[in-house]
A and B are shown apart, each in its own frame.
Chain A
Amino acid sequence: MVIEAVKLSVSYDNTQVIKEVSFTLAEGVVAVVGPNGAGKTTLLKAISGLVSYAGSLKIMNKDLRDFSAEERARLITYVPPLVDVMPDMSVGDLILSDPLVSKELLEEYIELFELSSLLKRRLSKVSSGELSRALLAKGLSKNSKIVALDEPLSHIDLRFQLILLKHLRVLSKGGKLILVASNQLNPLLSYVDRVVALKKGEVVFTGDVASFLRSSTPERIYGVKFEVVFKDGYVDIIPRELA
């Protein structure tokens, strides 16, 4: 198992926002879904070593706390949805600011996310989708075994959503575990191997996409009735009405 969490809890100011969750995850693309405030970001940050937690979290059979900061930095990458930066930082400055990235991979991701013409542009003058693509290029170029993408689909357009999701599948075949926290079930769930569903800090479901969609979990966590269409290996999730 790549990740093994046992009674994992995270608290902010004495309020538990991840509540003794236990799960295991192997290589593959994993959708982390759940309503706003369910704890998706917090879970991703705990796995990435960015917030302190109680309970046990094992990465490749080793306690996360036993990794050195440097080892952890190489092994796991967290990519935030957007960032506030100081003015005058350019897209190029941003993606070159991590000494752990590989230049060759960075060039590949500049191609993939079509950033070539944006490198000199100041971050205060790019759109949120462009910033999001730059953050993805920076994060993915680190080539970490575990990649935690926080809301990567929220700002990029449909074309880049497909480019990203198809690419994540390729990466996972190469042995990575990629966590994608998102509520864009369409098109996300057509491209993932597993689903972890969160509600109010608890993991209410882990399993494959079909079992997730056939269960009552989506309706329960979102409070919405869905119609689900399975076609040619893709799924279409249509929100119909409030439950």
Chain B
Amino acid sequence: MCPLMSSLEIFVLWRKRRFLTTLTLSALILAILFFTHLSLGYSVMNPLNVLLSGITQLITGSLGIEGYRVLRALTAVVVGATLALSGYLMQLSTKNPLADPYILGVSSGALFAVSLTLSISGYVLHPLMIGVRTITAFLGGLIAYLATLFIASKAGMSPTSLVLAGVAVGTFFYSASLLPQYFISRDIHKLIAWSMGSFVSPSADALILMISALLLTMSYAFYVRHPLNNLQVSDDFVKQLGWDPARLRRYSTLLASLITSFTVAWFGVIGFVGLAAPHISRRVLKSSELVFVLPTSIILGSALLTASDLLSKVLVAGVEIPVNVIASMIGAPVLALAIVELRRYGY
């Protein structure tokens, strides 16, 4: 390379180029998946036509097949981005590359809370319930997360003890969430499908709320990017930037639980995207810098979930496979790889 550049300048340039290449490629992949998603379904349609008439339908409010397809594809994109961001924030605040909203039990906590509310209220999937569902999902998710953190802290807070604590809490809440479903007579199929993750009933309201929450959380993460970068190293470094590491963790935890719970309230439990997207991003970027990892993770999370939903609707003609089934089959091997790698580095 240019001999007039210092090794630091060369490194900075290398890191930035790697980021831009990765970002461009992942955006391209996402775009291809998105248009394929629009095009495929019960019938194959021209994706551009679907997009244009779909957007028109969404604006005018008279939803046809195109509007439905656009809404569903956008939902997969936004939920994927949300889960990736949530997982990334959890990884930073626990200093643990294995953290993910599903693995740490947050999604199952939210699922249980919603399931319980629905069974108590007696009427299922009513529009008025949306607000209640969101709030209870958030509370359930947060309680589960705090329970996981509490158990893990008693077990020394190592990456694996956090995962094991999450498995204990998650399994408890997931099983507990199945109980109330048997007390509900109506719409039991819908409910079970929802609990396993499904974008079959996308909603424009949900989408707008999730995009707002996503943007808010992204802005927060960028605003605190320096302390968050240092949280991966040591609390002392965070303090030396003039930030309180405990408060930083608290806000990151709250936001991560909040945005995860939104996705669970409407679309059920979807695992491993939050683990896989940041993990692959860091690996491909060869960097842990938030400014690079965050946008890459968000796009990869979107791509992962768009691909999963695409498979869930086309794999078996006329049948919707729960999206969590596909997402987990893609994401769980990444967890396995991550565990093996961690051991190799002596964690």
B186 at the binding interface (Cβ < 8 Å): no
B182 at the binding interface (Cβ < 8 Å): no
With contact pairs A86-B91, A88-B287, A106-B8 given, residues A69 and B345 touching in the complex (Cβ less than 8 Å): no
**Chain A residues numbered 47-100 whose CB sits less than 8 Å from any CB in chain B:** 48-50, 68-70, 72-73, 77-78, 80, 83-90, 92-94, 96-100
Q: What distance in Å separates the Cβ of B344 from its nearest Cβ neighbour in chain A?
A: 9
**Chain B residues numbered 259-297 whose CB sits less than 8 Å from any CB in chain A:** 282-283, 286-289
Q: What distance in Å separates the Cβ of A145 from its nearest Cβ neighbour in chain B?
A: 14
A122 at the binding interface (Cβ < 8 Å): yes
B61 at the binding interface (Cβ < 8 Å): no
From the candidates B236, B286, B288, name the one contacting A80 in the complex (CB within 8 A): B236
B11 engages A92 (CB within 8 Å): yes
**Chain B residues numbered 308-347 whose CB sits less than 8 Å from any CB in chain A:** 341-342, 345, 347
Q: What distance in Å separates the Cβ of B255 from its nearest Cβ neighbour in chain A?
A: 19
Q: Which residue of A lies closest to B234 (CB)?
A: A83
Contact digits for A89-131, partner B, Cβ 8 Å, 1 yes 0 no: 1101110111110010011001000011101101010000000
Contact digits for B1-22, partner A, Cβ 8 Å, 1 yes 0 no: 0000011100110110000000
With contact pairs A87-B342, A88-B283, A88-B287 given, residues A110 and B7 touching in the complex (Cβ less than 8 Å): yes
Q: Which residue of B lies closest to A150 (CB)?
A: B236
With contact pairs A86-B95, A89-B232, A93-B289 given, residues A103 and B8 touching in the complex (Cβ less than 8 Å): yes
Q: Which 6 A-B pairs have the closest CB atoms?
A: A69-B242, A116-B7, A89-B288, A88-B282, A119-B11, A124-B345
**Chain B residues numbered 215-248 whose CB sits less than 8 Å from any CB in chain A:** 226, 229-230, 232-234, 236-237, 239-243
A176 at the binding interface (Cβ < 8 Å): no
From the candidates A77, A84, A122, name the one contacting B240 in the complex (CB within 8 A): A77
A194 at the binding interface (Cβ < 8 Å): no
A45 at the binding interface (Cβ < 8 Å): yes
A73 engages B242 (CB within 8 Å): yes
